[in-house]
Each structure stands twice: as structure tokens, then as C-alpha cells.
Amino acid sequence: MLRSGHRKSFRPAALIAGACGVALLAVCPPPGAVAGAPPALQDPNLPALPRSAEEIARIRGVLAPPTDFSAPEPFEAMPGGAATSRKRPNGDAFSQSSANMPFERELDFKLGNGLFRKLWVSSPSSTRASDGLGPLYNARSCQRCHLKDGRGHPPTGEAKDRSVSTFLRVSIPAPQDSLPAALAAVEGYIATAPDPVYGGQLQDFGTPGMVAEYRLGVDWTEVPVALSGGETASLRRPEWRAEALGYGPLAEGAMLSPRVAPQMIGLGLLEAIPAADILAAADPEDADGDGISGRANIVWSEEARRPLLGRFGLKAGMATVSEQSAAAFAGDIGISTPLFPAGAGDCTPAQTACIEAPDGGDAIHGGLEADAEAMRLVTFYARNLAVPARRDWDAPEVLRGKQVFHETGCAACHRPKFVTARLTDRPEQSFQLIWPYTDLLLHDMGEGLADHRPEARATGREWRTPPLWGVGLTATVSGHTHFLHDGRARSLLEAVLWHGGEAEAARDRVVEMPGDDRAALIRFLESL
């Protein structure tokens, strides 16, 4: 059980000492290595300088948990470090570039933005630079799901809402001996496979003449929750369905998981956190007895051609921003890229018409619909969507809410601070003090939030701790306040009340605390 005022401590003095006792892969550095050297699970495309013992000690002091809540901590108003956007928050608050971006790199950001917003069309087309859509797809552009680079929403039931920002992932159980050797060596890796007909996700649109795979259906049940002081709340429990299946039944044992598009800010900064710092907070056996047992997800990287630490996606199923972007192009839009070169996107051999349909691959682009240069620009854009500055971070009620946040145990998983690596080629993300409020680890969130669909090492009850930066601007940017992996929570309070498993003790404290403290906690979250 979490104790009042307790949070799992970050151990930068050892950095990877805590991870060395976890059998993942070759996580630990060789004897005599410089403290803070990147472990084998670090993205090899992230060139970082090693940290000296003196620098580690300095970082330890900076990242120490607060003891005084009467005033803000230094630099707390700048959650993205020097990259933080200080522009007046409005509907474009999540679409600003890193504030410390050199002028000569701004053109790449704008070009990446154009590709992110591009509406793709079906092949063949006279618009050769934009053809290749689908043939099965969930959206015609990245922006259609991540509207204004913000958070998606579950279907509203209105005829005009085709829920392009929500889809169902699908997989089936697979025998453990089907894993390649590199993944079989990862302790706890769970073997799954795509549905043999429908692939890895269900697409609810098709190009002209192509039958869509399904229609997303959901029923909601209201669940009342009694709070202290006579207050009440109501949670809505969803039952998701894949209706009107266009290619026959799903495979036996098919596991479905709803996913709402997350906000896009701060991705490059999360990628720049040294893997060793994330692994240091993992405690899979709950050795310190605090009830929190975060685990690292270890995933196969097509880019690195080996397992890496997962950071991105709702179950930390992707290791890098570039691979996450390429996978979305393939699965969501049906666009081929160097990492996923299939012209038919997520279509399977069982979907003959889809496989045989013309694609937009062009010889001038190496037979791809989005070539290496296009992916470089999109990745640069995604890495440099800035985190907005905090609002009211020094207001008395916000400071009180911050104290409640720590004393309730929320900071045990929603870890406030990191210092990014010293990078040799990414000045915007290099050596920044950031405040993402996540540990990027997997946690058992209880049966209420379980999707019963594993992903790499993540079980059907585990989810990655989502970053909280920018969460208070969701309504401003996205026009709604839907949270959690499937958008079931209609407010921040509802999102907190859905917490179970490792977070159940903290959730119960929120239910039982005085109403003024609960309001202060929400006010603090709204300031992030």
C-alpha cells in the first residue's frame, strides 16, 4: 500500500542499478563503463554523450521530490524545458514548434506539418504525390485523427461523427515457440499474431469499390460512485463491438482493444530520456513494498532490427517516434514507407481485392508512397511539437493540489521530472529539464480498465503511464474532455476514479479525501 507522502524515489546515482536485477536482455553496461552510459535497450539512432559522476549528482538534486509546497519549484512553469511554447494558449496550443528550434530547422517543421495534414487519395490518381490511400483505412490524414495535434474522442452516436479518431486493434494468441530468438530471450514477452484475415487493426473505411472491414459499435452503462461529503460521480462503462464485419468472422480467440488517438506534444523529449533513467524506476517484483511495480515494455524495433525499450503508444508498444509514425501511416492510412513497404497497408493475403488493388508507389520515390525524406520530415515535425507553458502554476489552490497529488501517491507512477540526454544532433531536446508526469512504465490498472489484449510484455491489464503535460488544455484544443485509452472518462475526475490495480489505493484516497482537497487536485491537473 502507498503511504501518505510517499513516492517511489528516482535513483540517478545508480541509474541502471535497479534494472540490472531484471532479466530483460543485455541491459547493464559492462564493468567499468561510464556511469549513465546508454544500455543495450537505448535507441541506437539516439546519439548521446555519457554522463559523468558529477553530472549525475547534479541531476539527482534537480530531480529530488519537493518537500515545500508553498511555492513552485524552479522552472516548473516550463514543462518542456527550453523547448516549451510560451504562446498564448488557444486552439493551436499543441501545434507550435519547439521554442528553442534553430531558425534553419523551421522549414523542416513546416514541411513535416504539411505532410501530417496531407489528405491522401486512392490510386490511380492524377495527383501522384498524394495517391496511395488504403485501400482499407481509418483516416485520410494524420491530422484527421490527431485534430490540431490533440486527443481523439470516442464515437458520439451522431450521424456526422464517423469516429475517425477511434479504432479497434486486433490480435490472436500465438504459441510462445513461434517467437524469433531475439524476442524469446526477452523475459515475459507474450506471443501474439495479427488476425489472419483482418490484420493488426480494423479499418472502417475503404476506397471506392472496396468493402470496409467493420463498423465500430459501443454501448455505455452508467456506474454511480459515492464520494466523501455527499458528492457523487458517474462513470460510464463501455462495451465495444466490431459490427458489420466485411470479410467474415474474426479468428477464434481474437482480442480487441479500442484506441483513441492521443495528443502529440512532447514526443521528441520523451524519446530523449535515457533508457537507463526509465529502467531505474522499474520495480517488477515490488521490492520496496509500496504496491507499485512498474515494468518496462521491451518491443521489437523494425528500425533497429532488435528489441528496444518501448516508450510510445498506450501500452508502450513502439520504441521510437519514427517507427510510431511509420506504423500509423501503414495501419491508419494504408501508406507505404521504408519501414513498412507494403503498398496495401494492413491488408492481408486473405483480402485478395485489397492486395491486388493499385497503389501509389512511384519509382521516383523508390516504389513507396511516403519515401525516406517524407518520413524524415514527418518525424521531425512529430518530435518538435512543443509542450505549452503551465498556467496558474503558482496559484495557492494549484500548489495545494500539487501537494495532494504527491501525498496521495499519484507521483509514484506519474513521475514529474526527467533530464534528457545530451544529444549531438537534436538541439531542441538536448539536456532539458522536463516535466512530463510519467514514468513510461507499464502498470496493472485493474480489471475495470483491462482490455485483455497483451502487447509485447504488456499484459491485458497493463497500460503505460500516460504523460499529463498539456492535459488541462484538452478542452481548448480538442473541444472535449475525454480521457483514458478509449475516451470513456468525460472529465479528469472520472479518469482518476477509473484507476484500479496498483493505483487503487491512491484512487480510494481521492474518493475519501475532503471535497476541497479533491477540487484542488483537479485544479492542479488542469494547470498542467
319-378: pLDDT as tens digits: 999 999 999 999 999 999 999 999 999 999 999 999 999 999 888 888 999 999 999 999
Task: Classify residue 232: in a domain, yes or no.
Answer: yes
* Residue 413 pLDDT greater than 50, yes or no: yes
Region 155-160: what's the mean pLDDT?
A: 69
CA distance 74 to 502: 30
Within a domain: 220: yes
Asked whether residue 258 is domain-assigned, the answer is yes
- The one-character DSSP state at 229 is G
- Is the pLDDT at 52 greater than 80? The verdict is yes
Does some domain include residue 472? no
Q: Which three cell numbers stand for residue 198?
A: 483482418
As a dihedral over the C-alpha atoms of residue 363, residue 364, residue 370, residue 374, rounded to 10 degrees, the angle is 160
The pLDDT, as a whole number, for residue 74 is 96
Q: How confident is the model at residue 268 (pLDDT cuts 50, 70, 90)?
A: very high
Asked whether residue 26 carries a pLDDT value surpassing 80, the answer given is: no
Q: Which of 260, 374, 387 has its CA nearest to residue 325?
A: 374
DSSP assignment of 253-285 equals T-EEEEEEPPP-TTHHHHHTS-HHHHHHT--TT
Candidate ranges 123-127, 282-286, 498-502; pick with highest mean pLDDT:
498-502
Question: Cell digits for 147?
Answer: 485534430
Which of 123-132, 160-169, 457-466, 479-488 is the least confident region? 160-169
pLDDT number for residue 172: 98
Average pLDDT over residues 227-236: 97
What confidence score (pLDDT) does residue 158 get?
A: 66
pLDDT in tens, 439-470: 999 999 999 999 999 999 999 999 999 999 99
Provide the number of structural domains found in the chain. 1
Phi then psi for residue 406, to 5 deg, are -70, -45
State yes or no: pLDDT of 269 exceeds 50. yes
Asked, for residue 328, whether it belongs to a domain, the answer is yes
Say whether pLDDT at 121 is over 70: yes
pLDDT at 39 (0 to 100): 56
Residue 15, pLDDT > 90, answer no
- What are 204-217's pLDDT values in tens digits? 999 999 999 999 99
Does residue 30 surpass a pLDDT of 50?
A: no
Q: Is residue 354 part of a domain?
A: yes
Backbone phi, psi, residue 260, to 5°: -100, 140
Cell numbers representing residue 192 in the block: 501474439
What pLDDT is recorded for position 18? 33
pLDDT of residue 159: 56
d(CA 80, CA 57): 22
Residue 143 burial (CB count, 10 A):
18
Give domain status of residue 495, yes or no. no
400 part of a folded domain: no
Q: Per-residue pLDDT for 160 more than 80?
A: no
Tell me the chain's radius of gyration from C-alpha atoms: 22
pLDDT at 236 over 70: yes
Q: Closest Cα partner for 348 from 200, 498, 151?
A: 200
347 DSSP 8-state letter: -
Q: Which domain holds residue 128?
A: 104-264+298-383
Helix (H) or strand (E) holding 217: strand 215-226
- How confident is residue 10, by pLDDT bands cut at 50, 70 and 90? very low
Per-residue pLDDT at 25: 40
Instruction: Classify burial at 304, counting beta carbons within 10 Å of its beta carbon; exposed 0-12, middle 13-18, buried 19 or more.
Output: middle
Average pLDDT of the segment spanning 84-112: 97
Backbone φ and ψ of 508, nearest 5°: -65, -35
Give the separation between CA 258 and CA 235, rounded to whole angstroms. Answer: 17
Q: How far is CA 321 from the centre of its chain?
A: 10
Q: In the prediction, which pLDDT does 98 show?
A: 98
